[in-house]
Chains A and B, each alone.
Chain A
Amino acid sequence: MILVLQIIGIFLGSFILIFFENILLSLFNFNFFIVLFLLFSKRTSIKLFLPVTILISVILDVVLHNRLGTTLLLLLLPSILLYILSFFSQIEEGLSLYITSFLAALLFYISKCLLPPFLLTNTWGYCDGKIFVSIVFKALITTAFIWLGELLIAKFRDGGNSNQIRLK
């Protein structure tokens, strides 16, 4: 029963996510999916996270007319970066969380600028100084969203604990 509800929830959630993703892409060329990916990658079970990520990525590739697997590849690169950085410092909290999130988002947007045209036409995408400035700005916004998301999650978690009776 829980599995069925989960599937229905994912199905409905994918519609909402695709809708808002397209609005934000049309408005600011901003990907909200990377925010969700970075927020939930360290909080969700891989058994749920991996299929949902694959499903949403493939749907995004279809509706954005990219080669299938493009969004997954774009998400893989920041994940590898975070994985490598995790050997050098604690990346799951504090200032380092936001620095690494910023770097991951930056890598995501740079690769988004260069990779999809390459996968479609074997020609690297175009990226000049102006585009790079906008990429940095979008990475900063992504980091801000992650900060907001962390605050919200912390608030919900605290709210949940406050209702619980503690037994010592």
Chain B
Amino acid sequence: MKKYKKSFTISDKQSFFIILIPIIILLILLDSRNLLYFFRNGLSFIYEPVAVSGSQIGKGIKDYFLTFSQISDFRDEYNQMKIDIFEKDINNAYYQTILEEKQALEKQLNMANKEAHYLKAKVVGYDSDSIRINVGSEDGVVVGDTVLFGNMFVGIVHEVDLNGSLVILPYSKNSSFEVFISPSGIENGVVTEKTEVFSKAVVKGVGDHIDIENISSESLARDGDIVVSNDKKINQYLIIGRIANISSNPAETSRSGNVIPLIDYSDLMTVFVDIRKEGI
């Protein structure tokens, strides 16, 4: 019964409104005139940190649940982005291939024998002493054709299938041809007519490197000189590489050394096959 007395009666409610309404009007009026700023500042100083902490915690929980509820969207977005990245990678790789092909063609146009007929080929496989290319008998390739890159010798076609060929690199033990050594007459990689021949020699593949033999002991050949093909099998003046480790024993009747190719065969992507042989 005592408790019941404490609860609201109608008169309590009326007094509640009678007190509350003037307070509300007063607060709104005074605050709109900015007359309670000191009161606001005091309360803000005390309660704002608690309120901000509560808001931050609430926001953190909300963000967590939002992330959790949107996880399927994120997964879809992630998968879509993966697809987009793959597509971009594919496009990029395609453009890189086109760029490489363009550069190879430019090099071939600028440096190669203009009268020869070249067949563009892609390198589809590489071994230590051979490469595989994607042109074959259907494209007019025959065994013995010379494969080159610009004015650089790459190899000789050894086997031909309908749509592919095996090219023997100078590293191969099957590779052996005559060359001459020239210190000059090579301008920007192009063999000019003013070629001065130091000596003739023979280049042989050993497997992991290329040997050069039968260099005249009288010749002025030295390390760094250019080795140029001079063989019927190749039928063009093509640069093989530079001499290195040339022997200098005066007792020898001939000198020997190594040849270091000017191009890295493993990096080749586009090469050219000389399908119309011309005499040197």
Contact = CB atoms under 8 A, between A and B. Distances in A.
Given A58-B43, A67-B28, A80-B17, A18 B50 contact: yes
B251 to A, nearest CB: 95
B27 A50 contact: no
Contact of A69 (B13, B31, B50): B31
A63 B44 contact: yes
Contacts of B61: 23, 26-27
Given A63-B47, A79-B17, A19 B24 contact: no
A34 to B, nearest CB: 15
Interface in A45-82: 45-46, 49-50, 54, 58-59, 62-64, 67-70, 72-73, 76, 79-80
Contacts of B51: 18-19, 22, 63-64
B21 interface: yes
Contacts of A44: 6-7
Given A27-B61, A68-B31, A73-B24, A42 B53 contact: no
B47 A59 contact: yes
B99 interface: no
Nearest to A26: B58
A8 interface: no
Contacts of A67: 27-28, 31-32
B19 interface: yes
A64 to B, nearest CB: 8
A119 interface: yes
Interface size class of A (residues with CB under 8 A): 35 or more
Nearest to A22: B54
A154 interface: no
B40 interface: yes
Interface string A1-37: 0000000000000110011111111110000000000
Contacts of B47: 14-15, 18, 59, 62-63
A90 interface: no
Given A26-B58, A44-B6, A69 B44 contact: no
Contact of B27 (A20, A21, A68): A68
Interface residues of B, number: 40
B90 interface: no
Most buried by B among A23, A24, A59, A83: A23
Nearest to A64: B51
B276 interface: no
Nearest to B6: A45
Interface string A117-152: 001000000000000000000000000000000000
Given A18-B51, A69-B31, A79-B13, A50 B20 contact: yes
B116 interface: no
Given A45-B6, A63-B48, A79-B17, A23 B57 contact: yes
Given A22-B54, A67-B32, A83-B13, A76 B8 contact: no
Interface of A: 14-15, 18-27, 41-46, 49-50, 54, 58-59, 62-64, 67-70, 72-73, 76, 79-80, 83, 86, 119
28 contacts: A15-B47, A15-B50, A18-B54, A19-B51, A20-B54, A22-B53, A23-B55, A23-B57, A23-B58, A25-B58, A26-B54, A27-B58, A43-B6, A44-B6, A46-B15, A50-B20, A58-B43, A59-B43, A62-B44, A63-B50, A64-B51, A68-B31, A68-B39, A72-B23, A79-B20, A80-B17, A83-B17, A119-B32
Given A21-B54, A22-B51, A63-B44, 15 more contacts: A14-B47, A15-B47, A19-B50, A26-B62, A58-B27, A59-B47, A62-B43, A62-B47, A68-B30, A69-B31, A72-B27, A76-B24, A79-B16, A86-B10, A119-B32
